[in-house]
Amino acid sequence: MYIRRAELKDSESILEWRNDPVTRTMSISQDAILKESHDRWYASALSNPRHQIFIAEVDGKAIGMCRLNVSGETAEVSINICPSCRGSGVGTKFLDLVIKQTNFGRYVAQIKAENLASIRTFESLGFKRKGEENGLLIYEANGSTSLGLDQD
């Protein structure tokens, strides 16, 4: 797996993955996103240093995106894997690589209780459940040195 920063060429894939029915069910906002709205958001996100968007590729094909919304030393994590690759463990490997490539003091994720795949992914990388807010489970981890699959 190779990870890189997102580029304009990734916009269509990200929109397609975001509008997938399972993604919509597991998202905070379950509405379908219109292309025009997505294009505006995406162009803004790519130019905003508070948003870091990564793309995972396998054999040259984009298979997922991970977005970090940064505030100070905290990065809020959002991850989405293309539907045909879900259940294969690539989400865990992808998130592990993003964490190792970044260096924030704290990582946070908001996850719906029924999103068992995401809960397993985050817990396997050392995230701990810290509470619940507005019907979402809050998972946190401190610093990249305490996270990851390959701990010494």
Q: pLDDT of 80-124, one tens digit each?
A: 999 888 888 899 999 999 999 998 999 999 999 999 999 999 999
DSSP 3-state assignment of 41? helix
Are 6 and 46 in contact, with CB atoms under 8 Å apart? yes
What would the CATH number be for the domain defined by 2-146?
A: 3.40.630.30
Report phi then psi at 52, rounded to 5. Answer: -115, 115
Q: Which residues contact 9 (CB under 8 A, 6 or more apart)?
A: none
The pLDDT score that the predictor gives to residue 83 is 87
pLDDT above 50: residue 79: yes
Domain ranges of the chain: 2-146
What is the Cα–Cα distance from 131 to 128, expressed in whole angstroms? 9
Alpha-carbon distance of 97 to 102, in angstroms, equals 9
pLDDT, mean of residues 67-81 = 95
Q: Please tell me the pTM assigned to this model.
A: 0.88
Quote the pLDDT of residue 75: 96
